Amino acid sequence: MVEFTRRYFAERNIPVEVEFSWGATEAKVVEGLCDAIVEVTETGSTIRANNLRIVETLMESTPVILANKEAWADPWKRQKIEQLNTMLQAALAAEKMVGLKMNVAHGQIDAIIAKLPSLNKPTVAHLYRSDWVSVETVLHEKEVRRIVPELIKAGAEGIVEYPLNKIL
């Protein structure tokens, strides 16, 4: 976005110095390291979380996959394009989803499962030489804050939340 940003301001005769930022861009404004940032954002939630405000939208975009007719007609290339699409769709499906894993005493399984949302059904695996099981599920990250206290109250222990890269 560096060259795009330079062109944007140059076309409007606004003198600016533009530098690429490696990560934590919002924090640089908060810390006084720069006057403003140009950031690629989907929702603006990180910007608002840092008590910043969006002054101007420079561009809106929609990602798409395009293939020329010759490539689409070639079976090998078409397969690669479809594989790429599958992986991109899987990454989008995992956005804002997390995995939740916990240990549950055998007597509490039904109470825990009743509280858990999942893509299909939670996974339950017996722990080695134990009356406990490991329960694993996938859910929307917004549900975690609400559900974890309920799970603890119902007897879940060792609860681990982890990010997901793809859901296929």
Q: What is the pLDDT of residue 50?
A: 84
Q: What is the pLDDT of residue 109?
A: 95
91 within domain boundaries: no
62 within domain boundaries: no
Q: What is the pLDDT of residue 157?
A: 96
- In this structure, the answer to whether residues 43 and 101 fall within a common structural domain is no
84 within domain boundaries: no
67 within domain boundaries: no
Cβ atoms of 115 and 147 closer than 8 Å: yes
- DSSP character string of 42-94: SS-HHHHHTT-----------------HHHHHSHHHHHHHHHHHHHHHHHHHH
Residue ending a domain, among 49, 66, 84, is 49
CATH code of residue 133: 3.30.70.120
Q: What is the pLDDT of residue 40?
A: 86
Q: Is 106 helix (H, G, I), strand (E, B) or coil?
A: helix
pLDDT tens digits, one per residue of 90-117: 999 999 999 999 999 999 999 999 999 8
Q: What is the pLDDT of residue 21?
A: 87
156 within domain boundaries: yes
Which pLDDT tens digits describe the chain residue by residue (168 residues)?
A: 899 999 999 999 999 999 998 877 888 888 888 888 998 887 888 888 888 888 889 989 888 899 999 999 999 999 999 999 999 999 999 999 999 999 999 999 999 999 998 888 999 999 999 999 999 999 999 999 999 999 999 999 999 999 999 999
75 within domain boundaries: no
43 within domain boundaries: yes
Q: What is the pLDDT of residue 47?
A: 85
80 within domain boundaries: no
Number of domains within the chain: 2
**Residue range(s) defining the domain that contains residue 155:** 97-163
Residue ending a domain, among 34, 49, 64, is 49
Q: Give me the long-range contacts of 106-111 (CB less than 8 A, separation at least 24).
A: 106/131, 106/132, 106/133, 107/131, 107/155, 108/154, 108/155, 108/156, 109/133, 109/135, 111/154, 111/155
Any idea which residue has 């996959």 for tokens? 65
